[in-house]
Structure 1
Amino acid sequence: MMLNRRQFGNTALGSMAAIWAAPAIAQGGKINLKVGGQFADSHPSSKAMEAACAEIRQQSNDRIDIQFFPNAQLGSDAAMLTQVRSGAIDMMTASGISMQVVSPIAGISGMAFAFSDYAHVWQAMDGDLGAAIRAGLDKVGIYAFPRILDSGYRNITTSNRPIASVDDLKGMKMRVPPSPVWVSLFTALGASPTSITINELYSALQTRIVDGQENPLTIIESGKYYEVQKYCSITEHMWDGLWIIANGKRIKSLAADDLALITKSFETATVKQRTETERLNVDLESSLKAKGLVFNRPDKAQFRQLLTKAGFYADWKQKYGPEAWAVLEKYSGSLA
């Protein structure tokens, strides 16, 4: 049957439109996904991601070939975040505080002394606060999966003296991650913060570029910082977690069933990881003591009082805005 010129043109345009409108990854096709992580393969978050990726491969009969690369193999946090946004890598685990540079609200969950216990953490992160953070990330092309991994409450380690009172932080050279929240926090506490990436931290402690650092016990153990630090002060000055994030365009091009499989596997692994990390952050104190780390527990109230007096909370309330701050205080109680 012959087509006239108008019919041919309409048919061709229709076919092209169908191609452009189709998902980038068709249902049933081979999918290759690369996921980056910052911590050693022994860290609970790395183990959880390895388990989730293995489950996804198995459940899809290896049609979804998703591979996890721990220990900053794909670059520093900042480098991986840039790659995820550009599409050079598909996914990564990322601290909300570290993502503050591209989506300011992402760091609000790391506000100092915001959550008194894990019950409040999960109410917030699985509730309205987590939803607000994910919405903010979506605006800059980052898709965050619903459940956040637990990194734990952060504590201070030092090589020269324990932190028995807030005065012990004065002038101390403290390593902090490259993020405005951390820098402003330890500046307000009187320390001298220096931003150093996690993959350079051990050598910075070993060569005394800095005297101390702050991290959850799981990271102190997996990073072997007890080898180059003497004291650990349980300050629990902030809680931090790791979002599993993806390039927005890439993840939204997946078929609905494939995205559902990936989401379910990540959620199952995350729930298990939360329980394991909470247990480890208690049990690790004994094993780290056996490795020579000396522990103490300073009064946390003095740190909060100094932060309030220094205007730390008032400044961050203004930066985040009253609406976001109200969502945070729904779970934390009044901070400023």
Structure 2
Amino acid sequence: MLKTNKRAMLKALGAAAMVAGMSAGPAWAQAPIVLKMAHIYNPGNIWFNAAESYAKAVETKSGGKVKIQIAASGSTGDWPASIEGLKIGTNDIVLQSIGTLDRYNVLPGLEAYPYLVRDVDHFKKVYYGPVGAEFMEEVAKKSSFRIIGAGYRGARWLSSNKPVASVADIKGLKLRVPPLKMYRMTWELLGASPVPMGMAEMFTSMQQGVVDGQENPLEIIDTMKYYEVQKYAIDTRHVIGAMTWIYSDARFKRLPADVQKLLKDEGERVMLEATDTMVSTEGALRKKLEGHGMKFNAIDTVAMKARVADIGKEFPDLAPWAIKFANVK
């Protein structure tokens, strides 16, 4: 009799558990999840808007159970400090380029490999195809950071206070570059004197002549008002870079599976939307900068490509990946 009652009780408990499991719905419904995002972009900037769109979509599609709190405009530190915050848990998400992770492992530096990604169509095929998926998984394994989505930043242009009409004019140019090895090596091969420097120091350094120029997408030149301290924009288009959402891989994997999927799906969607926005505004950005007095000129990119052709020798671990990216049709 006791055994019968025990079996009946267990059966009832099992049925109750099954009903509870069936009615529980998505894992995020169990308790609110709040994720902290940091980035350096100001209101009106494409990437500021992308961050807002991401947060809104995640909150809406989770019914308010997953929220992203944004610290914008570098309010909690510059991008190196923000990425360090992912390691210690003060940040959950950082919006920044893939290449900023090359201080943790050489592989993310592939994003800044000169003349590797050919155009926007190639960009999408690389980062949203099997090669891109494999690359992102390998970045997670080697750097401990999970990257989600890729947004076209716009091609990087050289800007200078000195006229640069040929590759020969680059020789000795004091050029601010991001504090990343790939950028420094690229410009050393091109004959410049690269000066690694954070964004916060750039405007004043160009204004005071500490450096002659810098290299960035037109969107950055406009947003940061570098046209006030730079006379020339040179159409080098030496890198087609990728913005991304950066997470601690270990902490991302501890999130419920459906929350991971939500963050990935919406992260990719928003990055593709930002890509289309950037493509549609590049022409207008050039006209706007010309209106501010910047003079634009072309340069022999064939000669530039020849100068950096051997950069793979400086990064032997990247050579196989550079081949994979280049072979995407």
SS at structure 2 position matched to 1:97: helix
Instruction: Give the drift of 1:259.
Output: 2.4
Aligned to 1:10: none
With over 3 angstroms needed to count, the CA separation of the structure-2 counterparts of 1:207 and 1:62, relative to structure 1, is farther
Contact 2:232/2:296, CA 8 A, preserved across alignment: yes
Aligned to 1:287: 288
Structure 2: tracts of 5 or more residues without a match: 1-26
Following the alignment from structure 2 to structure 1, what is the Cα–Cα distance between the partners of residues 178 and 166?
Answer: 23
Whether 2:231 is the aligned partner of 1:230: answer yes
With over 3 angstroms needed to count, the CA separation of the structure-2 counterparts of 1:91 and 1:296, relative to structure 1, is same
Aligned to 1:302: 303
Instruction: After TM superposition, list the pairs within 5 Å mapping 1:1-336 onto structure 2.
Output: 27-139=29-141, 140-145=143-148, 147-159=149-161, 161-308=162-309, 311-316=310-315, 318-321=316-319, 323-331=320-328
Deviations 1:6-53 (A, max 9, x none): xxxxxxxxxxxxxxxxxxx97521211111112223221221111110
Please give the TM-score of this superposition, normalised by the length of structure 1: 0.84
**Match for 2:120: what amino acid?**
Y
Following the alignment from structure 2 to structure 1, what is the Cα–Cα distance between the partners of residues 308 and 145?
Answer: 32
**Match for 1:198: what amino acid?**
M
Contact 2:157/2:238, CA 8 A, preserved across alignment: yes
Contact 1:35/1:66, CA 8 A, preserved across alignment: yes
Following the alignment from structure 1 to structure 2, what is the Cα–Cα distance between the partners of residues 95 and 326?
Answer: 21
Contact 1:45/1:150, CA 8 A, preserved across alignment: no
SS at structure 2 position matched to 1:42: coil
Following the alignment from structure 1 to structure 2, what is the Cα–Cα distance between the partners of residues 164 and 205?
Answer: 20
Contact 1:138/1:144, CA 8 A, preserved across alignment: yes
Following the alignment from structure 1 to structure 2, what is the Cα–Cα distance between the partners of residues 177 and 88?
Answer: 24
Instruction: Give the drift of 1:156.
Output: 0.6
Following the alignment from structure 1 to structure 2, what is the Cα–Cα distance between the partners of residues 154 and 76?
Answer: 21
Following the alignment from structure 1 to structure 2, what is the Cα–Cα distance between the partners of residues 57 and 169?
Answer: 48
Structure 1: tracts of 5 or more residues without a match: 1-24
Segments ≥4 residues shifted beyond 4 Å: none
SS at structure 1 position matched to 2:308: helix
Contact 1:153/1:236, CA 8 A, preserved across alignment: yes
SS at structure 2 position matched to 1:220: helix
SS at structure 2 position matched to 1:153: strand
Deviations 1:265-292 (A, max 9, x none): 2222212111010111222111110111
**Match for 1:314: what amino acid?**
K
Contact 1:40/1:223, CA 8 A, preserved across alignment: no
- Matched pairs, number: 303
Contact 1:72/1:199, CA 8 A, preserved across alignment: no
Deviations 1:126-165 (A, max 9, x none): 12442233123221321111x2122111001111x22210
Aligned to 1:14: none
Instruction: Give the drift of 1:255.
Output: 1.8
**Match for 1:130: what amino acid?**
G
Following the alignment from structure 1 to structure 2, what is the Cα–Cα distance between the partners of residues 195 and 282?
Answer: 29
**Match for 1:223: what amino acid?**
M
**Match for 2:163: what amino acid?**
P
With over 3 angstroms needed to count, the CA separation of the structure-2 counterparts of 1:114 and 1:326, relative to structure 1, is closer
Aligned to 2:8: none
**Match for 2:134: what amino acid?**
A
Following the alignment from structure 1 to structure 2, what is the Cα–Cα distance between the partners of residues 291 and 327?
Answer: 41
Contact 1:115/1:239, CA 8 A, preserved across alignment: yes
Following the alignment from structure 1 to structure 2, what is the Cα–Cα distance between the partners of residues 122 and 110?
Answer: 16
Instruction: Give the drift of 1:226.
Output: 0.7
Aligned to 1:8: none
Contact 2:139/2:145, CA 8 A, preserved across alignment: yes
Aligned to 1:9: none
With over 3 angstroms needed to count, the CA separation of the structure-2 counterparts of 1:116 and 1:65, relative to structure 1, is closer
**Match for 1:313: what amino acid?**
G
Following the alignment from structure 1 to structure 2, what is the Cα–Cα distance between the partners of residues 331 and 109?
Answer: 15
**Match for 1:166: what amino acid?**
V
Following the alignment from structure 2 to structure 1, what is the Cα–Cα distance between the partners of residues 240 and 297?
Answer: 19
Contact 2:79/2:96, CA 8 A, preserved across alignment: yes
After the TM superposition, which of the residue ranges 50-59 and 208-217 deviates more from structure 2? 50-59
Please give the TM-score of this superposition, normalised by the length of structure 2: 0.86
Instruction: Give the drift of 1:119.
Output: 1.1
